[in-house]
Amino acid sequence: MEKLEKYFSSLTDNKNPINLYQPIGYILQQGGKRVRPKLVEISTHIFGGNIEKAIYPAASFEMLHNFTLIHDDIMDLAPLRRGKETVYKKWNNNIAILSGDALATMALQQILLTPVASDQILKMASLFAQTSLEICEGQQYDLDFETMDQVSIDQYIEMIRLKTAVMLAGCLKVGAILSETSENNQNEIYNFGIHVGLAFQLQDDLFDVYSDAETFGKQIGGDIKSNKKTFLYLLALEKANETQKAALKKWFSSETINFDEKFISVKSIFDQLNIKTETENKIHYYVNEALSNVENLTVSTEMKTVLIDYAQQLAKRIK
């Protein structure tokens, strides 16, 4: 990833206007887990593609991801990202929106710069566009859920598939396209990414309640504070008795209630209903589905082990 970090630095160095490019450099150079470019690299590796060429789609999908973070933080009123001030907090809303728009355009440019045949570029660009649009669809569903009286767990899973999982799946498929592997491999690695992505997002839902700000890298309880209908909340509603259900709906009907009191009370109900363990079980279900996709790939056992190890590490991550 060292080469990628240098590449990101070169994209914004000495570029004007400074208030457009400085926020882009700020968020790109924060690092983060770099899950998305790692997935591009892993996919390119297991399918025997050119790792040097993979830096362009890897940069593209990581830049797209960071674009979504800039705008998500504005919509969520999130003060912290990766332990630092979010872009809109450090600058302002207008600069954050414009810088995010520029970053999304720069992300597409990276696909077009990939030194491969035109038909591969077309397939990668099409995948990039599909992924971008589906992320927006997922974000809209997420916003819609805030004002809907009833949201089912199935609706929530579809929302996070669009908002989170398609990005990881796209990263894996773009590496497969770059490597010119079979359609079966491209589809199976995409589905592997969907299942990994669902597990990944459910873990984030879990960490929002059962972690700490230093480990998590952002404000704990942010979903509860903003009344987000996460998997934990929807599962709790499904399992709750009438008293618990009434309490949950009360806490999630206002943003003016004392946050500490609200967080402690909601977490207490989650604990009573064993929500943490049931969410962990659902995470492991999706990890196992991902492992089934790996078995359907026509690659060596050694290459399958790379993906199996990755999925199992994901299931054990602490942040």
pLDDT digit of tens for each residue in the chain (319 aa)?
Answer: 788 999 998 999 889 999 999 999 999 998 778 989 999 999 999 999 999 999 999 999 999 999 999 999 998 888 988 889 999 999 999 999 999 999 999 999 999 999 999 999 999 999 999 999 999 999 999 889 988 989 999 999 999 999 999 999 999 999 999 999 999 999 999 999 999 999 989 999 999 999 865 565 566 888 898 888 999 999 999 999 999 999 999 999 877 778 999 999 999 999 999 999 999 999 999 999 999 999 999 999 999 999 999 888 876 764 5
Whether cis (ω within 30° of 0) applies to the bond prior to 23 is no
E-state strands within the chain: 80-81, 84-85
For residue 273, give every residue at least 6 positions away whose Cβ sits within 8 Å of its Cβ, in sequence order, or none.
Answer: 235, 236, 239, 240, 244
The count of C-alpha atoms lying within 13 angstroms of the C-alpha of 211, restricted to the half-sphere facing its C-beta, is 20
Q: What's the rounded Cα separation, in Å, for the pair 108 and 172?
A: 17
For residue 189, give every residue at least 6 positions away whose Cβ sits within 8 Å of its Cβ, in sequence order, or none.
Answer: 43, 47, 169, 172, 173, 175, 176, 293, 297
CB 311 within 8 A of CB 196: yes
Q: Which residue type, as a one-letter code, is found at position 128?
A: F
CATH 3.40.50.360 assigned to domain 1-31+54-115? The reply is no
Which residue ranges make up each domain of the chain? 1-31+54-115, 126-319
Note whether 1-31+54-115 and 126-319 share their fold.
Answer: yes
For residue 272, give every residue at least 6 positions away whose Cβ sits within 8 Å of its Cβ, in sequence order, or none.
Answer: 244
Q: What does pTM read for this prediction?
A: 0.89
Class of domain 126-319: mainly alpha
